[in-house]
């Protein structure tokens, strides 16, 4: 197996069966709310390549938009990964949950249009107002709807 990671309390541990790819910062409102930070760094793997090695029974899910689900540790709340309907073969996991998050640096920003104004970044990474133009499963750069921009689906 490859890199390992886990949640803050140690209840959930995981291994990656392959190296992650497509690492970026997301500034959408839902990522801000679910992580409690101005942006969330994520990377992708095939769904079967993120393997819980302990604590799978502690993983909880919330429907975070009309098209996305977020998985987190039910004991400490650490955000673990996200799945989206338009990319059924992959998941995006929170890079900071890796034991060595330095090993997977972000390569771009998405949803730059939702960036918190006081969150000043001094990098030269590409910035995309919404999704990147080549986002798999989408016909453009817009999300399937705006539920990710407003903090999730409304009851």
According to DSSP, the β-strands at 4-6 and 109-110 are unpaired
Q: What pTM did the predictor assign?
A: 0.86
What is the predicted pLDDT for the residue at 141? 44
For residue 44, what are the β-bridge partners?
21, 92
What is the predicted pLDDT for the residue at 150? 54
Helix, coil or strand: residue 44: strand
Q: Which domains does the chain have, with CATH numbers?
A: 4-138 (2.170.150.70)
Strand ranges (DSSP E) for 47-143?
A: 50-54, 59-63, 68-73, 79-84, 90-94, 109-110
What is the predicted pLDDT for the residue at 140? 47
What is the predicted pLDDT for the residue at 59? 98
Helix, coil or strand: residue 30: helix
Strand ranges (DSSP E) for 17-89?
A: 21-26, 40-46, 50-54, 59-63, 68-73, 79-84
Task: Say how far apart CA 138 and CA 24 lie, in whole Å.
Answer: 17
155 residues of the chain, pLDDT tens digit each? 589 999 999 999 999 999 999 999 999 888 898 899 999 999 999 999 999 999 999 999 998 888 889 999 999 999 999 998 888 999 999 999 999 999 999 999 998 988 999 999 899 999 998 877 776 655 444 454 555 555 555 55
What is the predicted pLDDT for the residue at 85? 87
What is the predicted pLDDT for the residue at 148? 53
Burial of 102 (0-12, 13-18, 19+ CB in 10 A): exposed
């Amino acid at each position: 197996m490859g890199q390992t990671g886990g949640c803050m309390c140690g209840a959930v541990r995981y291994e990656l069966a392959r190296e992650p790819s497509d690492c970026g910062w997301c500034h959408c409102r839902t990522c801000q709310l679910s992580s409690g930070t101005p942006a969330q760094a994520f990377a992708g793997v095939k769904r079967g390549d993120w393997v819980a090695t302990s604590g799978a029974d502690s993983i909880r899910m919330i429907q975070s938009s009309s098209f996305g689900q977020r998985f987190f540790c039910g004991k400490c709340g650490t955000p673990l990964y996200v799945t989206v309907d338009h990319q059924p073969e992959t998941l995006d996991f929170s890079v900071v949950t890796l034991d060595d998050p330095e090993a997977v640096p972000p390569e771009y920003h998405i949803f730059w249009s939702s960036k918190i104004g006081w969150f000043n970044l001094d990098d030269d990474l590409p910035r995309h107002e919404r999704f990147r133009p080549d986002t798999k499963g989408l016909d453009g750069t817009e999300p399937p709807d705006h539920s990710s921009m407003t903090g999730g689906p409304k009851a």
